[in-house]
A and B are shown apart, each in its own frame.
Chain A
Amino acid sequence: MDEIESATSTAVKKQKTRFNNTVILFIILAVMFALFSYIGRPFFFSRLNLIPMLNNLSFIGIVAAVLTMVMISGEIDFSVGGNIGLTACLTALLLERGLPGWLVVIIALCGGLLMGAFNGMLVTVVGVNSIMATIGTMFIWRGIGYTLSNGESILAMNPVIDFIGRGFIFRVIPFPIILLVVFFLLTYVIMNQSKWGRRIYAIGANPIASFLSGINVKRVKFINFLFCGFTASLGGLILTSLSAVGMPQHGQGLELVIVSSIILGGTALGGGKGQILGTLAGVLILSILYNFLTIMNIYYFYIQIVQGTVLILVVSTYEIRQAMARRRI
């Protein structure tokens, strides 16, 4: 008889607020961009800054897009950073051994699939909470990365690999940006228009009801983790290409930024709610913010302070808004 919940809101109103959210974020983005262009002139708004910033943002965005899918289904993957580090080292090592670029790419991506599969198994078969499981695997992947590279940075130069991060399509558009657009389009279509996306939203909204309606919850979650692992490796390849080295430190701390972007974009921690476009806005906002801070020569570890604060602020805003909605009853 908890009809108390019945009063909350109509679907139409909620859909409008969801859309409004993303619009607000893009407005904030535009304002920030203008502001930083002014304060950081002339360097901020120059090709020398914007291209690397966009490239950097691309690989973060790609991972964030797929991680959004995982989070909407009610899980999370903190191991993406470790995955990137491991992939970077693996790639560099294999190139050193003389393997052809295209083969290395395939192996790296398969590695990503394996990592995703391991995460997926831990969560769906063993039943470990995904937060704990992926924090654990984060350390394992990173550790393997360090082991493979012996803690050193290894040069990674190869025509195929170079293209991934530093190549251009039609002479002007950097390849990573293309990947970014492709991935966001792909995930947008999947989540908003496809049956798979509908299953993901349903599972996030109520996994028990989804299970009892014949949806194979475990399979959906497992495949999501596979996709996430694959994508993180792709991100690792991009980063390796951009920096031309494979370092075990690659991707360190990325979890913080990516998860913050996703939550900023409106995805709830519990699942069931969230928009891909929101994530895009979140990634853009935070990437531009951190790029700006880096240009202003702020010490990396101080930027980390900002990153941590942003996470807390972003989640706080979400919690406070939820509490206010509850109080309106």
Chain B
Amino acid sequence: MAAGNEIVLQMNNITKIFPGVKALDDVSIDLHKGEVLGILGENGAGKSTLIKILAGNYIKDSGEIYIDGKLYEIKGPAEAMSSGIRVIYQELNTLNNLTVAENIFIGEQIVSGPFKRVDWKAMNRKAQELLAALNVNLDPNAIIGDLTVSEKQIVEIAKAISKDAKILVMDEPTAALSEEETQSLFSIIRTLKSKGVSIIYISHRLKEIFAITDRVTVLRDGKKVGSLATRETSENRLVEMMVGRDIKDMYPKREIQPGDVVMEVKNLTADGFIDISFKVRKGEILGIFGLLGSGRTSLVKALFGANKIKSGHIIINGKSLNIKNPQVARNEKIGLVPLDRKAEGLALMMGVKENITLANISELGKSFLIAREQERKKAGKWVEEIGIRTPSVDQEVSSLSGGNQQKVVLAKWLESGSKIIILNEPTRGIDVGAKIEIYKLMQDLCEKGSSIIMISSELPEIMSIADRIMVMSKGRFTEEYLRKEASEEKLLHAACL
């Protein structure tokens, strides 16, 4: 596991500014040959931005990048690739209709003979070799669409190294993997290390950082907090560096007196999950924790009428209901702040006021005409109450920052009178300041009698905000913990069952 001393990558004083937010502020990192460098940080710390700059998807505002000692101007993804940089993203980019071998050799199919014909035999053979070098057994003729997420990831890795990657970046690679698959991934990483590939491993899972990295760099709020050799540090130290303040201040705690049961779910089964039962009480925050693929999003979509229910019951305030579409859910005062707020929560080309009234258009006046004054007043009220930073209620939502966009989505459900609000990863991609505001909002709502169901994969967050935490794994319910009983190990363990 000894890493070489030569520096293959140096990113110096990188700064990147987006309107409204400084994503990276004078960040410098360096990567040694054959080492695994972990980059650790909360959502919004700047990890993704840094990687996108390295991969050529964003252009840095200032700073220099040196590869093998030479200054590089990475103007686009092509240059990054030719410099030996390969990135494996969370959202896998594979061509589902083609075979494993083809995916590995996209654009560079092996040709032979005078007519330069595609040599399938050679391609399959070479693919087999690459996979064997990773100690993996996959049929090069298999169609990608049939493979599991873990196998697709392996294909992506094989693709990366087929083009002689010098620097391999993995962005949250274990999000969708089981414990076993994660171990396989780690052994592949070790194999790559021994071949001299340098790896940047991005994660916010401390266990993995300690398992596989040689050094770790911590980012927070766009700044580099520090770089340490992994074995010379501890979990607490890293968490402290990541969060930067005492956790107690970060997540305002409060005790609640839960009221009556507002929602009861009995033996619910739909696409993505089986036989889930739980209760939600008035005024409480129920957290749902689980890994990618555990069925959390499928569950909340079913609660909201966006995922057809196969069996089971949903009981709201004592009435058993058939929530067959989001209209019904909305009428029953349920709201959903979706995972991807831009794609699923907002009409980006419309203004703040239009988005706030989006779920309550029928109430915009008594006739079939829109009462414009009423609309402005309603929007204005929420902008103030929730603290949405926008020049006006007419402002196009696409120009707001992530945190404010999220607030608009929340305002939409408040405007339509939701009493049970489901939030799917509410603080993803939001800067720390806005995060705290959203936590506070959530607490305020609960104090006023609403109930919240929150999906989160951030352990510190869910352990501090949720009153109860339900854990899901592979579509099933595994464990439930009260806040004071929960711990990172217990939750992670339950999530991997």
Contact = CB atoms under 8 A, between A and B. Distances in A.
Is A–B contact present in the complex under a CB 8 A cutoff? yes
Interface of A: 1-12, 14-15, 189, 193-196, 198-199, 201-202, 205-206, 208-216, 272-273
Given A3-B401, A11-B351, A213 B369 contact: no
Interface string B185-221: 0000000000000000000000000000000000000
B398 A195 contact: no
Contact of A205 (B20, B23, B350): B350
Contacts of A194: 368-370
Interface stretch (B322-330, B443-451, B470-478): B322-330
B336 interface: yes
Interface of B: 18-21, 23, 44, 48-49, 52, 58, 304, 306, 325-327, 329-331, 336, 338, 342-351, 354, 358-359, 361-362, 364-365, 368-370, 391-392, 394-396, 398-402, 412, 416, 429
Among all A-B residue pairs, the 3 with the closest Cβ atoms: A3-B18, A214-B330, A205-B347
B19 A209 contact: no
B349 A273 contact: yes
Contact of B344 (A2, A6, A212, A272): A212
A72 to B, nearest CB: 12
A272 B349 CA distance: 8
A115 to B, nearest CB: 26
Nearest to A211: B326
B369 A3 contact: no
Contacts of A5: 348, 398
A8 B399 contact: yes
A182 B347 CA distance: 31
Given A1-B49, A3-B23, A11 B369 contact: no
B305 to A, nearest CB: 9
A175 B472 CA distance: 67
Contact of A10 (B44, B370, B391, B429): B391
A8 B343 CA distance: 18
A209 B327 contact: no
A12 B401 CA distance: 18
Contact of B18 (A4, A205, A215): A4
Contacts of B429: 1
A205 B368 CA distance: 21
13 contacts: A1-B402, A3-B402, A6-B399, A10-B391, A11-B396, A15-B394, A189-B369, A195-B364, A202-B361, A209-B345, A209-B346, A210-B347, A214-B331
Contacts of B21: 3
A6 B412 contact: no
A216 B327 contact: yes
B354 A198 contact: yes
A11 to B, nearest CB: 4
A195 B368 contact: yes
Nearest to B343: A208
Nearest to A199: B361
Given A1-B49, A10-B396, A196 B368 contact: yes
B394 A205 contact: no
Contacts of A205: 347-350
Contacts of B44: 1
A6 B351 contact: no
Contact of B394 (A11, A201, A273): A11
B388 to A, nearest CB: 14
Given A210-B358, A213-B326, A12 B19 contact: no
Contacts of A12: 392, 394
Contacts of A273: 349
A1 B222 CA distance: 12
Given A4-B18, A194-B369, A198-B361, A214 B398 contact: no
Given A9-B396, A189-B369, 10 more contacts: A3-B23, A7-B399, A194-B369, A195-B364, A201-B350, A202-B350, A205-B347, A209-B343, A211-B326, A215-B327
B416 A214 contact: yes
B19 A14 contact: no
A38 B192 CA distance: 78
A205 to B, nearest CB: 4
Given A6-B18, A6-B19, A12-B394, A213 B412 contact: yes
A148 B109 CA distance: 56
Given A11-B396, A193-B369, A195-B370, A212 B336 contact: yes
Contact of A193 (B49, B329, B345, B370): B370
A213 B330 contact: yes
Given A210-B358, A214-B330, A202 B347 contact: yes
Contacts of B400: 6
A206 B347 contact: yes
A328 B116 CA distance: 42
B23 to A, nearest CB: 7
- Could you say which of A4, A6, A206, A272 has the most chain B C-beta atoms within 10 Å of its C-beta? A6
Contacts of B391: 10
A314 B489 CA distance: 61
Nearest to B412: A213
Given A212-B338, A216-B325, A3 B20 contact: yes
Contacts of A214: 326-327, 329-331, 359, 416
Contacts of B395: 10-11
A16 B462 CA distance: 45
A211 B19 CA distance: 30
A50 to B, nearest CB: 35
B333 to A, nearest CB: 11
B124 to A, nearest CB: 36
A325 to B, nearest CB: 12
A255 B3 CA distance: 67
Nearest to A15: B394
B368 A213 contact: no
Contact of A206 (B18, B330, B348, B369): B348
Contacts of B347: 201-202, 205-206, 209-210, 272
A105 B331 CA distance: 41
B362 A195 contact: yes
Contacts of A189: 369
Nearest to A7: B19
B107 to A, nearest CB: 25
- Could you say which of A189, A201, A212, A216 has the most chain B C-beta atoms within 10 Å of its C-beta? A212
Given A6-B399, A10-B399, A209 B358 contact: yes
Contacts of A196: 368
A193 B373 CA distance: 12
Nearest to B306: A212
B23 A1 contact: yes
Nearest to A197: B370
Nearest to A219: B327
A201 to B, nearest CB: 7
B132 to A, nearest CB: 37
Contacts of B345: 209, 212
Contact of B326 (A8, A11, A212): A212
Nearest to A272: B349
Contacts of B394: 11-12, 15
Contacts of A11: 351, 392, 394-396
